[in-house]
A = this chain, B = another copy of it.
């Protein structure tokens, strides 16, 4: 019953040729299925068709593989946030909310990455590269917050952008962790996680004095707003950022 392994070896020769990548992919799949805790180094090796010792030629230990995945995750995360932000087009508030949705979408569509990044218990601060990658991702949110803060309605004190960024991050992460994960969209909600986050952010921005109907109060500093009929669906209903209160 070990002709399977022989078979495999016959197919690909003694050397795998691309083991590092294969291990990363295998691990990604396993983490998506069973979570970072349930993922096993040996399993990844098996899935790649190599012995249990082979992975040690490419990763110091199981943790390093996990870190590599988290690192890659932060990079993809950053690029998705960057794309969503799109340098604040067509207007800052719209783009800002798109970033929020992108956060949730990432958590939903890349559960393995999200898990490795935020739920694996990895000591992020122990790995400089990882920390840097994480920071780069956060900086997207920060940059967006900065642009938003600059639009603060005149007359009111300008909110610190850093604080706004942290607030938005915590909201996004909270919603994602609690309500938006793969098979784990555990609680029954009166609204989708996306709607929940969108309303949350809108209420928050309104609390800062921002007009949340997509019509910026400042003039000139902001490109002309999208015509109302173009902001399909995600526009704020007249009553407020939530459905009809009953």
Contacts and interface: CB of A to CB of B under 8 A. Distances in A.
Interface in A30-74: 35-38
Given A167-B199, A169-B178, A170-B171, A190 B121 contact: no
Interface stretch (A16-24, A88-96, A154-162, A213-221): A154-162
Contacts of A190: 160, 162-163, 166
A209 to B, nearest CB: 9
Contacts of A162: 190
Nearest to A38: B121
Interface in A130-174: 138, 156-160, 162-163, 166-167, 169-174
A240 interface: yes
Q: How many copies does the complex hold?
A: 2
Q: Indicate the size class of the contact surface on chain A.
A: 35 or more
Contacts of A166: 179, 189-190, 196
Contact of A157 (B157, B204, B239): B239
A163 B191 contact: yes
22 contacts: A37-B37, A118-B177, A119-B121, A124-B186, A157-B240, A157-B245, A158-B245, A159-B240, A159-B245, A160-B243, A162-B190, A163-B190, A163-B191, A163-B196, A163-B242, A169-B178, A173-B178, A174-B174, A202-B207, A204-B207, A205-B207, A207-B207
Q: Which 7 A-B pairs have the closest CB atoms?
A: A174-B174, A207-B207, A170-B174, A203-B207, A206-B207, A173-B174, A170-B175
